[in-house]
Amino acid sequence: MEEKSYKEYLGHITTFIFDVDGVLTDGTITLTTSGEMLRTMHTKDGFAMKTALLEGFNVCIISGGSNEGVRKRLEGLGVNAIYLGAHNKIEQMEEYLALHNIKPENVLYMGDDIPDYPVMKRVGLPTCPQDAVPEIKAISKYISHKNGGQGCVRDVIEQVLKVQDKWNGNFSAKYD
């Protein structure tokens, strides 16, 4: 039996779940003299998440990290489902899906490293950034041409919304 192209899954996606470090960020952590850990996120990824939310998609974040600055940034975009300090991502994903009555086959998950592996094996469309580790690339149905923190989240969200005719360029009504 021939494997389906990742594009055949895009029309069924209702939910985006993203890791943070290595997906929404480039995985680099800058340490200040006080010990604070700073991360950088791409504004185009933020715009895409906000657009997905405005179009009625579910957006969830599941991260092993626990930086409250990350939470503030995501909440500022309208993301309310944020699981930080998640060491068993399956538990958080299953809790979120049950709470919102979402089927795993309707989920696009983007991860970049080994802690994402078990979750990615259970969703309909596992995806990763171009610079993900080989084990994650091997199970991904789509590998973005963008690296983590460099627009890979925008890449997958935009593709899903375009296929579902929800990325139509008429943004003035929502953003004016």
pLDDT at position 20 is 97
Pair 111, 128: CB distance under 8 Å = yes
Question: Does 89 or 172 have the greater pLDDT score?
Answer: 89
pLDDT recorded at residue 104: 98
Please give the share of the chain, as a percent, with pLDDT higher than 90: 84
pLDDT above 60 (res 176): no
Whether the per-residue pLDDT at 21 is higher than 60: the answer is: yes
3-state class (DSSP) for residue 47: helix
For 48-103, the pLDDT digits (tens) are 999 999 999 999 999 999 888 999 999 999 999 999 999 899 999 999 999 999 99
- Across 128-143, average pLDDT: 98
* Nearest of 98, 72, 71 to residue 83 by alpha carbon: 71
Task: Check whether 175 has a pLDDT greater than 60.
Answer: no
Residue 32 to residue 139: CA distance in whole angstroms: 36
Global confidence as pTM: 0.93
Asked whether residue 1 carries a pLDDT value surpassing 70, the answer given is no
Higher pLDDT, 47 or 168: 47
What domains appear along the chain, each with residue ranges and CATH number?
10-167 (3.40.50.1000)
**How high is the pLDDT of residue 87?**
87
| pLDDT at 126 > cutoff 90 | yes
Q: Quick one: average pLDDT of 126-142? A: 98
> What does 66-125 look like in DSSP terms, one character per residue?
--HHHHHHHHHHT--EEE-S-SSHHHHHHHHHHHHT--GGGEEEE--SGGGHHHHTTSSE
